[in-house]
């Protein structure tokens, strides 16, 4: 297995282009299942999770072509053609690798009247059940059974619109039911729906395919079902979590980095928090410049959008470990998303966990160490810690980073980081 070796202590200075958003691209790819006309997606990132979703959709019978752009740098173009879907089973071997696989459930039931999708099981950051997805589909008229680790869903006569009130915000359940409702008979109202930019983007793509979704960007999505969906051309938005991660890396190292092709409007809370922590952030429509003369402790709590995202909690913690003063970081979305804490402490951080909160007392220095992370964002927090630590840090299990950060070591190296990928033996 590959690892990443970093010699820390250099401020990041320069420009980095942000890639397409993983968490927008994955649901968009599953939306192709709703139509028998091709869906064309631009700005697709080069990530392991995209390859996993490609493999999943291909085994359902979707034809997918991914083209490199002429410059070899911008995102790829994907054409997904679901005319030939001949298999409605999503097997355990793929679903266990990537939980977003469960997003094929709604589109398959809506268009084919049936689906057999492996239950994803537990995960390093929490138990992550899919009960809201299943209850919502039942409300749309599907019969759901669980059998030998699989979800069996049937709706031989199609789905029917319903009013669905989510007891709490779920990005995936909102996306699954939004897609399913597009082909249901009648009107569906999704209340307390997720407002994450990736949900908004999916709704816009569905409308471009011929769906009738209104209330986009609010917590109530209203979907008038249509007979069928057609073709669309849609560009994957820039990755707000990659943008935030790189901004925090720049700030933690006391650097000066401009992130190109970004959407700062999707990161208002994040940049507000970083500003309180001492970062100087200059936003333009499609770029953001981050500098940070000194970091001071602040309190942060993760919340559904537009609040501070759980997907940036670990990276924010890495930025705050060397702050002047203390910070309190509270995770309100996932019950076990502090797996980076013991590893940061091995590098010299002073962090105490109290249930869902972490008290981070700033330390003067971190020292490099060999570390390992159990999930994508935790791995990125260790990269940030490695960039500021004295000496050498080796981060193992790089496959986590490859799931969600495109060409990370190259991007950081162009800004002066001493970082390299070491091929596994």
Active site residues: 123
Nearer to ligand EPZ, 21 or 369 (CB): 21
Which residues from 224-243 bind ligand EPZ, rule CB under 6 A? none
| Binding window for ligand EPZ (CB under 6 A); candidates: 37-45, 89-97, 126-134, 394-402 | 126-134
HSE, CB side, 13 Å, CA atoms: give it for residue 328: 8
Alpha carbons 354 and 362: distance in angstroms, whole number: 17
Alpha carbons 350 and 346: distance in angstroms, whole number: 9
Of all residues in the shown chain, the one whose CB is closest to ligand EPZ is 172
Which residues from 155-174 bind ligand EPZ, rule CB under 6 A? 170-173
Q: How far is the CB of 53 from ligand EPZ (least distance, A)?
A: 10
Q: Does 397 bind ligand EPZ (CB under 6 A)?
A: no
- Does the annotation flag 99 for ligand binding? yes
Alpha carbons 45 and 22: distance in angstroms, whole number: 7
Alpha carbon of 267 to those of 177, 247, 263, 281, 307: distances in Å?
26, 11, 8, 11, 9
Alpha carbon of 74 to those of 42, 289, 340, 414: distances in Å?
9, 20, 31, 16
Closest by CA position to 381, among listed 254, 252, 288, 255: 252
Q: Does 126 bind ligand EPZ (CB under 6 A)?
A: yes
- Does the annotation flag 23 for ligand binding? yes
Q: How far is the CB of 199 from ligand EPZ (least distance, A)?
A: 9
**104, 130, 262, 321: which one binds ligand EPZ (CB under 6 A):** 130
Q: Does 128 bind ligand EPZ (CB under 6 A)?
A: yes
Closest by CA position to 198, among listed 247, 140, 141, 237: 237
- Does the annotation flag 403 for ligand binding? no
Q: Does 311 bind ligand EPZ (CB under 6 A)?
A: yes
Closest by CA position to 190, among listed 162, 158, 227, 229: 162
Q: ∠ at Cα 245 (327, 286), nearest 5°?
A: 120
Q: Does 45 bind ligand EPZ (CB under 6 A)?
A: no
Cβ partners under 8 Å of residue 225, min gap 6 = 159, 161, 181, 182, 183, 184, 185, 186, 187, 188, 212
Alpha carbons 344 and 385: distance in angstroms, whole number: 7
Q: Which two tokens stand for residue 346?
A: 């091995």
Residue count, binding to ligand EPZ (CB under 6 A): 23
Alpha carbons 194 and 187: distance in angstroms, whole number: 19
| Binding window for ligand EPZ (CB under 6 A); candidates: 128-136, 248-256, 292-300, 345-353 | 128-136
| Binding window for ligand EPZ (CB under 6 A); candidates: 125-133, 139-147, 265-273, 356-364 | 125-133
Nearer to ligand EPZ, 150 or 334 (CB): 334
**133, 195, 263, 397: which one binds ligand EPZ (CB under 6 A):** 133
Which residues fall in the annotated binding site for UDP-N-acetyl-alpha-D-glucosamine? 99, 128-132, 311, 333
Binding site for ligand EPZ (CB under 6 A): 23, 26, 99-100, 126, 128-133, 170-173, 198, 310-311, 333-334, 376-377, 404
């Amino acid at each position: 297995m590959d690892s990443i070796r970093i010699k820390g202590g250099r401020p990041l200075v320069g420009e980095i282009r942000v890639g397409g958003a993983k968490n927008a691209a994955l649901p968009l790819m599953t939306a192709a299942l709703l139509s028998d006309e091709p869906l064309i997606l631009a700005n697709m990132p080069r990530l392991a999770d995209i390859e996993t979703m490609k493999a999943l959709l291909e085994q359902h019978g979707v034809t997918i072509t991914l083209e490199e752009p002429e410059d070899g740098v911008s995102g790829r173009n994907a054409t997904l053609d679901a005319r030939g879907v001949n298999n409605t089973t999503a097997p355990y071997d793929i679903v266990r690798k990537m939980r977003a696989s469960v997003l094929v459930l709604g589109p398959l039931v809506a268009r084919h009247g049936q689906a057999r999708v492996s239950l994803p099981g537990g995960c390093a950051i929490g138990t992550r059940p899919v009960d809201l997805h299943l209850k919502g589909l039942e409300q749309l008229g599907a019969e759901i059974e669980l059998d030998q680790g699989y979800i069996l869903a049937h709706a031989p006569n199609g789905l029917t619109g319903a009013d669905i009130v989510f007891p709490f915000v779920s990005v995936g359940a909102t996306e699954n039911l939004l897609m399913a409702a597009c082909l249901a008979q009648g009107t569906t109202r999704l209340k307390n729906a997720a407002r994450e930019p990736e949900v908004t983007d999916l709704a816009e793509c569905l409308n471009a395919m011929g769906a009738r979704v209104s209330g986009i960007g609010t917590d109530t999505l209203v979907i008038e079902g249509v007979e069928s969906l057609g073709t669309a051309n849609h560009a994957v938005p820039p990755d707000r979590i990659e943008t935030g991660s790189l901004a925090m890396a720049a700030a933690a190292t006391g650097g000066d980095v401009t992130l190109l092709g970004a959407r700062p409007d999707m990161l208002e809370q994040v940049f507000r928090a970083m500003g309180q922590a001492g970062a100087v952030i200059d936003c333009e429509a499609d770029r953001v410049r981050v500098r940070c003369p000194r970091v001071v402790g602040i309190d942060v709590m993760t919340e559904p959008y537009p609040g501070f995202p759980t997907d940036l909690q670990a990276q924010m913690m890495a930025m705050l470990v060397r702050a002047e003063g203390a910070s309190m970081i509270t995770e309100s979305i996932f019950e076990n998303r502090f797996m980076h804490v013991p590893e940061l402490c091995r590098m010299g951080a002073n962090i105490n966990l109290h249930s869902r909160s972490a008290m981070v007392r700033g330390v003067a220095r971190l020292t490099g160490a060999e570390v390992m992370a159990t999930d994508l964002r935790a791995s990125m927090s260790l990269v940030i810690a490695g960039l500021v630590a004295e000496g050498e840090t080796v981060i193992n299990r790089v496959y986590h980073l490859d799931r969600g950060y495109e060409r990370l070591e190259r991007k950081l190296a162009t800004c002066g980081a001493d970082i390299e990928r070491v091929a596994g033996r």
